[in-house]
Chains A and B, each alone.
Chain A
């Protein structure tokens, strides 16, 4: 197995009496595409926010790229894309890209080059000068992804990156993920879409704040004698699945 990119050690999180994460332990290797699969409210977002340095665990610790989170050296090497698009709608795509790339210290020719490159990856090159408020939902999602890629992060944390995006576009975005992955980027994706889960190298199944199973899609299916991830999820996850 490769070097670990992420080590989650016995992490729990509670807000008041509500336990959002319960004793999660997980290792993700460099160069993996790791999927966190589970229904809404399973704790996927809380877990990836901790990995991005935006939340602290109540107990346990997260080590990302060899550094205990939160840590600025690690943050610089992570690309994070939240569930919301988090764009400045009154600015153009170009101005959004300029702003966020400056925060990572990009400037001059290098900055212009990266802006062109990431917009090519998400196929929005011709829409660079447009105001974001004139973008469609799918375009905003892709621009949001492009921003997360600007500083060539070693680790991409993507929270439901393809939610609300049509199948053709979803395929394009996944092609972009494979392309980045081939260049060595580790990718963590949360999803509640089962067919998307099949595209990951390994999967973690989450339910009510617990990690119920970890394995490759094939292994998970084989272990449960299922033909689909959905069936496997039902076996591990208990009785009901809500979306």
Chain B
């Protein structure tokens, strides 16, 4: 009853604020469209497995410019591809090289193919003979945007929910309405849950619009189910929301809330897979698993690029809800500053 009243009030406030509604929907659409138009690739050292390739052949190959791993059967190589230990492997069917790629990152695909082609070309006796390439995930037309898109989708949801929830909670404090709320019989947890539900509904609508736009208008790759995408986005939004409210208790005004963006939001992008995680120096890389976007980006990529289902994403979703739960508890503790019960 009280939670419902709070949820309705938040929805009313947001809907009345036309500019915020516009920012929630059109800003991400604008930026995603621009990124779609400008993305392009960079260089990468491929990790290639060689399966049952006779020494007589490998001796004649130039194996520099790639990390090579030798296998004696296809199964082990495939296992390593699935676990992303190697980017792909080469085997011989008859005399013809057969290539298998992990396939979800276009930069890696391109670099691996390029390397294999130039290396094995020296073997080819007959001109015009083509190497057969098969993808476990993705396809040869996966673009940069398809790989980065899921991360950006997650980032925008996180960013906007974090800011809007944080700022509206700061307003609640500075205008004295929080104090007034706490002079009524509402429980502290009801305030936090009311906020989560109100903004949760807004985020759901926002995500459906943005995701539908990127998938159906910008043709971003979407291999998995839309429902899983929404589950991940919702879990991420809850995290952003509860963290935004929590961080807002360390800010005295809206400007100070904005100052938390470079500290709290931007660093998460570095660990979300937008940049290759293996190139991050060791003494920084431990931060990744502490950031919510890290899990959301991985799960979103699992669904959108790799077409995975619930079995592959449930751990990430649970971790995200775990973050939310932790932040909810901390929020309730933080509200004790205003009322002890």
Contacts and interface: CB of A to CB of B under 8 A. Distances in A.
B176 A90 contact: no
B180 A102 contact: no
Nearest to A76: B185
Interface residues of A, number: 31
Interface stretch (B4-12, B110-118, B218-226): B4-12
22 contacts: A54-B183, A54-B339, A70-B341, A71-B341, A72-B341, A82-B176, A82-B180, A85-B175, A85-B176, A86-B176, A86-B179, A86-B180, A88-B13, A88-B177, A99-B5, A99-B6, A99-B8, A100-B184, A103-B2, A103-B181, A103-B185, A104-B184
B179 A102 contact: no
Main secondary structure on A side of the interface with B = loop
Interface of B: 1-2, 4-6, 8-9, 12-13, 16-17, 175-177, 179-186, 338-341
Given A102-B2, A105-B1, A91 B16 contact: yes
Contact of A82 (B5, B179, B340, B341): B179
Contacts, number: 79
B12 A70 contact: no
A190 to B, nearest CB: 15
B341 A53 contact: yes
B177 A52 contact: no
Contacts of B340: 56, 70
A178 to B, nearest CB: 24
B339 A103 contact: no
Contacts of B179: 54, 82, 84, 86
Interface in A86-117: 86-91, 95, 98-100, 102-105, 107
B9 A88 contact: yes
Contact of B177 (A70, A71, A86): A86
A91 B10 CA distance: 10
Nearest to B174: A84
Contacts of A103: 2, 5-6, 181, 184-186
A146 interface: no
A105 B1 CA distance: 7
Contacts of A82: 176, 179-180, 183
Contact of A90 (B8, B13, B182): B13
A90 B1 CA distance: 22
Contacts of B5: 98-99, 102-103
Contacts of B12: 91, 95
B175 A86 contact: yes
Given A88-B9, A91-B16, A104-B185, 20 more contacts: A54-B182, A54-B183, A56-B340, A72-B341, A80-B183, A82-B183, A84-B176, A85-B176, A86-B175, A86-B177, A87-B175, A88-B177, A90-B13, A95-B12, A98-B5, A100-B184, A102-B2, A103-B186, A105-B185, A107-B1
